[in-house]
Amino acid sequence: MQYIIRKLENHRKNSETQSIFTDKKGHQWEYLTQKEYMELPELERRICADMRKKDSGSANLLLRDGEIRSGLYQYRSKKKFSEKTIGYIPVLPVDNTGETAGDPSCIRIIGKSFVKAYIVPVLLLLLLAGLILGSFWYLREDDIPGLDESAIAYHVEGVKNTDPSQIMMPGISGFTMEAGDTHIEHVLYNPEGNPCYFKYRIILQDTEEVLYESGLVKPGTAIMEFDLNRTFEPGTYNVTVLAETSSVEDPETEMNRGAVNTVLTVN
């Protein structure tokens, strides 16, 4: 089927306004905008074919404008995600002799949507990259060697480090345990917002014996209970709680340390 262009001036309130589509061969085609197309009589809004930047090469579906020819595409109601409708060309079907051979209709001009074709894929790639990096960081954090598996999320109201250039050291009170037992219920805490892991050591002052050593405690978590290396007879023992720190960015990088002297009471 061949088509010729109908005069567009008849369909425009402002005949000086032109919308031009240039195909890959450099041919220019004047078209109606969506608003102008919708002002056509309903019977003239039927879509008979599609035009794209590239000529279809079809010899059976053609648009003629004088000596200019453009191969058209079969009309498909559903466009690809990356495509958009640019405009419409009012046409008349003609036979090989150039005589009108049917009712007025329109050719739809299809182009690429820059946002859908380029911006959306880039945003999706960035989102995917973010998810991958986030997953990598999450898995990396779980794979940090030496993390204390007994540490759980722990929050103290009003206690949060808001200055990442500083390390907040929590207070440590005395420990209590039963004679002949090794178990102690006591919180060893790394305040939320700290830029470092904590590693706790409890040291007997008289002999410098290490009674307990934790794994790495993440910011915002705490060890709620633990066991010493040995039992004690009833009495009071002077101990030092040493908090060694290492960067959350690189656990191999040591930072400041803090020490608190307190007592272990054995009942």
Q: Domain ends where: 112, 139, 168?
A: 112
For residue 172, the enclosing domain spans 152-266
Does 164 share its domain with 261?
yes
Contact status, residue 159 vs residue 191, Cβ threshold 8 Å: yes
Tokens for 170, please give them.
Answer: 């929590």
Query: Domain for residue 119, yes or no?
Result: no
pLDDT one-digit tens code per residue, 227-239:
999 999 999 999 9
> Does residue 87 surpass a pLDDT of 80?
yes
Pair 3, 107: CB distance under 8 Å: yes
241 assigned to some structural domain: yes
Tell me the C-alpha distance between 186 and 204, whole Å.
17
Q: Do 10 and 94 belong to one domain? A: yes
95-104, 128-137, 253-262: the lowest-pLDDT one:
128-137
As beta bridge partners, residue 240 has 203, 261
Q: The tokens of 194 are what?
A: 């700290």
pLDDT at 199 over 60: yes
Are 261 and 161 found together in one domain? yes
Confidence grade of residue 100 (pLDDT, cut at 50, 70, 90)? confident
Residue 46 belongs to some domain of the structure: yes
For the record, the structure tokens of 163 come out as 């200055």
Please give the pLDDT value at position 82: 84
Least confident of 46-60, 134-148, 160-174, 251-265: 134-148
- Percentage of residues in the chain with pLDDT exceeding 70? 91
The residue from 56, 90, 112 where one domain ends is 112
